[in-house]
Structure 1
Amino acid sequence: MRRAVTVAASVLDQAAASLTNIAVLVIAARASSADGFAAFSMVYIVFTVLLGLGAAFVGQSVVLEKGEEHEVGAAVRSAVAFTAVASTAVGVLLVATGAVIDGLAGAAGPGSPTEPSGPTGLGGTTGLAVLALGAVLPIVLVQDGLRYGFSALRLPQRALAADLLRLACVVPALLLQPYGTSPARLVLVWGLSALPAVLLGLALLYPSVRNRRGTPRGYLRRGHLGRRFAVEFAVGSGSSQLAVLGLGLFASPLVVGALRGATTLFGPLNTLFTSVNAFGPPLLGRTGSRRATVRAAAGLAAVLALAALGWAAVLYALPDRVGRQLLGATWESTVALLPATGTQYAVMAAGTCALVTLRVLSPRATLSVQVVFSLLSVALMLVGHALWGAAGAAWGLAAGSALKALAAWARVARTRPEPTAPREEDQRSAAPLS
């Protein structure tokens, strides 16, 4: 019974975190012009990449901690302390970078104070938003890091309480912002609204880490497990997000807003994929034979793919009036991308299930697939954008995801279970697989 409660709390916590991200982007789109949301999206991508790297380097390693309660408590204390120090250092760099961007925009001459400017899409608006992100980065990264600490301590109920408070604070805070609010102000409001959740999380964590001696410097030692997880994130999810950011910097910021708007609408699917990554390996590992494992994974892939296509059809059928209520001015550029993004999520379902299957059969087989086909996806996105603009970029991402899924299932067909039990850290690695 206790195990069932723990699993349910973990799933609900992930759902609350995903719902928060969806709500932030939807409300920001409604409160912004198309250009303003493009600038906000570019900064949010920077945050997403930093969040993913932090989760891979610190979070995914701390959840693998085993031992007595005091040993796990010490590891969690180290993880939170390291996250606080590292995020503060990165935040200082972002503040300096934002100030430089803002200064360059001012030196370039007079222009609109609220719109991105210049051929690269960099301007005073983006610079101030980057500066604002640096100011709140320690708050938002520590808040997310606490979730992994509670997971390691097997206390997901406390993480759920903090994340529900986060959701309850950020939604009204952003809804109070008037239309046309600058991206920098949106970033500040979004980040500062996490402070109550951080304070609650620290208060709930304190009894478990009190009098535990942490060693944050251990994260800098050579051979730290988090480095492998960070590499897998970088070549998997991080590379495509940085490529989208590059389109905004060197081509058109509006493309970033359109792509981010489309992926935001598919947020419920992201929650499902994350749950498959987290709970798929142990469940598939108990199916028995290799054939039963592959059959179960293929069935799950078919269900998720149909769900993605059905959700895409629902979104595409929305009247423009409803779409504009969801995404504001960004809806006009986003709706054209929904067929491509729906196709991408359908093939991502197949790829996610294939890679989870590889985690069970041969845990070390996923990295090569991730490296080759994630970079290929980036290349196809850039080529698609060069030929057909935002729609071409979206179809390029869909094509890359389809090729990754095919390669992953081909690898499954050639793979036989390893003769020895996979290491726990390989099975439980939750780096993004799609």
Structure 2
Amino acid sequence: MRARAAVVCSVADQGVAALTNILVLVVAARLSTVADFARFSAVYLVFSVLLGVSGAYTGQPLVLRRGAGDETRGACRSAVLLTLLVSAVTGGLLAAVCVLLPGETAHALTMLGLVIPVVLAQDTARYAFATLHAQHLALAADTLRLVCVLGALALQPHGAPAARLVLVWGLSALPALVLSAAVLHRRTAGTPARLRPLLRKGHLGRRFVVEFGVGNATSQLSVLGLGAVGNPLVVGALRGATTLFGPLNVLFTSATGFGPPLLGRLATDRLRVRATAALAGLLAITAAGWATVLALLPDSVGRHLLGDTWPTAAALLPATGSQYAAMAVGTCGLLALRLLDPRTTLPIQVVFSLAAVAFLTGGYLLGGVTGAAWGLCLGSVCKAVATWTRVARLTRRAEQGRAPFSATAVGSGP
């Protein structure tokens, strides 16, 4: 598949996947009572965490592989099989525990346990197709899933309980999984599935899971903590402002999750670093442009989007827009590090996630909600500087003949 077509299909696939998640919540909100939608949202949050852990452990190490030989094709088959097996065990335990608990939320979690192998295995297949440079197949499967999930939910009656919606949502991914499994089986025919390399101590997925936990949980918990001990409006204002930048989160996810196979086509590390730097500039300009568009929105449109939260969120747009521009640079820096030496990203994530919490707290103490937003921005700027400083060091080391740790070497092994 040509590089330009692969880029288009990869971005389109991420757009379809994000659109599916958004429309699922929209349709569920329209079908449910307020209480049932709250239960559905809580269950969907649990799913989002499991999805992030699964992608970090199996998907992200997979896309760092280079080449399309038997070893890579076997790794793709192994990743999907491991996801299916582990999610079946996890989902079975979740369902077994929740079926004994009272309440509608527990019932909905039981349904999640039953369908989680389907949705997680289908997501891992997307990473496998990206690794095999077949992004068009991931796009086809995700488009099929979008059509099936919307069609299935549209047939549900108004007032359907959360458990029923969760079950329908999960089972609607089955056609996409069957399609992905059939095509992947043909693409990886003749290669053995080896699960032991994915479970050994040195597997990169373990580090990426920690990164996912640190990078996502730390900032979320710190914002909630400020709301608990300080002003509860902090949570709504910061969450409202970041919600407006949702489309950029899709682009950042595309870059880190599905960028390595595309950049891996370039001949040398120097070319890959240059391409990643160009991507960082493009995403930063996009973030600044999006922030400008949001700042120019009439108040009536803003209130339609966020309701009464709009005035406080709008006041944070300069800080949040600057933060997302810095995040674009930092995200691409982490992407470059994963291509050069994937073991260097965890210390940076840990140190600067904790630094962001300190800046957030200090900013709030000095300047209230606006200060907190600028504190988050400062944390993102520091992480961006640190990542690209590390990239420069690794690049110089490679040019001096001391090649950095190889991502391909991590993926190989008995």
TM-score (norm 1): 0.73
Q: Which residue of 1 aligns with 2:294?
A: 312
- Write out per-residue CA displacement over residues 256-303 of structure 1, whole angstroms, 9 at most, x where no aligned residue: 9998887665432222223443449779x888799x889856743541
CA–CA separation in structure 2 for the residues paired with 1:214 and 1:16: 29
Q: 1:202 aligns with which of 167, 173, 181?
A: 181
Q: Which of 374, 382, 406 matches 1:406?
A: 382
The AA in structure 2 aligned to 1:214 is: A
Return the structure number with greater relative CO, CA threshold 8 A, min gap 6: 1
- Counterpart AA for 1:405: V
Matches within 5 A, 1:54-65: 54-65=54-65
Percent same amino acid at aligned positions?
A: 45
Which of 188, 193, 204 is residue 225 of structure 1 equivalent to? 204
Deviation at 1:374, TM superposition (A): 2.5
Q: Which residue of 2 aligns with 1:344?
A: 320
Q: How big is the shift at 1:368?
A: 2.9
Is the counterpart of residue 367 in structure 1 residue 346 in structure 2? yes
In the alignment, what sits opposite 1:98? 98
SS of 1:419's equivalent in the other structure is: helix
Q: Provide Cα deviations, 1:354-400, integer angstroms capped at 9, x if missing partner.
A: 34236547755543332133345567889999xxxxx96x9857743
Kept after mapping to 2: 8 A contact 1:374/1:400: no
1:1-44 Cα shifts (integer Å, max 9, x gaps): 72322222222212211221222223233334554433322222
Q: CA RMSD in A?
A: 4.5
- For residue 77 of structure 2, what is the aligned residue in structure 1? 77
Amino acid at match of 1:137: I
Query: In the alignment, what sits opposite 1:52?
Result: 52
Summarize the alignment of residues 3-402 of structure 1 with structure 2, pairs less than 5 Å apart: 3-66=3-66, 69-100=69-100, 102-103=101-102, 124-240=103-219, 266-277=245-256, 278-279=258-259, 296=278, 299-300=281-282, 302-313=284-295, 317-319=299-301, 323=305, 332=307, 335=310, 338-339=313-314, 340=316, 343-344=319-320, 346-357=322-333, 359-360=335-336, 363=341, 366-375=345-354, 377=356, 399-402=375-378
CA distance 1:44–1:373, change in 2 (3 Å): farther
* Cα distance in structure 1, aligned partners of 2:94 and 2:235: 20
Cα separation, 1, equivalents of 2:68 and 2:302: 56
Q: Which amino acid aligns with 2:170?
A: G
Give the distance between the partners of 1:299 and 1:371, measured in 2 at CA.
25
State how far apart, in whole Å, the 1-side matches of 2:237 and 2:155 are: 24
For structure 2, list consecutive stretches of 5 or more residues without a partner in the other structure.
228-232
C-alpha distance in structure 2 between counterparts of 1:270 and 1:376, whole Å: 21
| 1:186 CA drift (Å) | 2.4
Q: Normalising by the residue count of structure 2, what TM-score does the alignment of the two structures yield?
A: 0.76
Give the deviation of 1:255 after TM superposition: 11
Structure 1 window deviating more from structure 2 (297-306 vs 87-96): it is 297-306
| 2:219 and 2:357 in contact (8 A); partners too | yes
Query: 1: distance between equivalents of 2:9 and 2:285?
Result: 24
Tell whether 2:13 aligns with 1:2: no
Cα 1:279–1:75, aligned 2, differ >3 Å: closer, same or farther? Answer: closer
Deviation at 1:243, TM superposition (A): 7.2
CA gap of 1:384–1:139, structure 2 versus 1, over 3 A, is: farther
Provide the secondary structure at the position in 2 that maps to 1:197.
Answer: helix
Whole-Å Cα distance in 2 between the matches of residues 70 and 288 of structure 1? 26
What is the Cα deviation at residue 207 of structure 1? 0.9
Aligned partner of residue 19 in structure 2, secondary structure: helix
Give the Cα–Cα distance (whole angstroms) in 2 for the partners of residues 134 and 5 of structure 1.
37
Tell me: CA distance 1:184–1:63, structure 2 relative to 1, closer, same or farther (3 Å).
same
Structure 1 portions without partners, runs of 5+: 104-123, 249-253, 324-330, 386-390, 430-434
Letter paired with 1:225:
L
- Counterpart of 1:419 in structure 2: which amino acid? R
**Residue 419 of structure 1: aligned partner:** 397
* Aligned mates of 2:253, 2:186 — CA distance in 1: 29
- Matching residue's letter, 2:56: A
Counterpart code for 2:247: P
Q: Distance in 2 between matches of 1:79 and 1:242?
A: 31
Structure 2 distance, partners of 1:159, 1:342, is: 36
Q: Which moved more, 1:145-154 or 1:27-36?
A: 27-36
SS in structure 2 at match of 1:226: helix
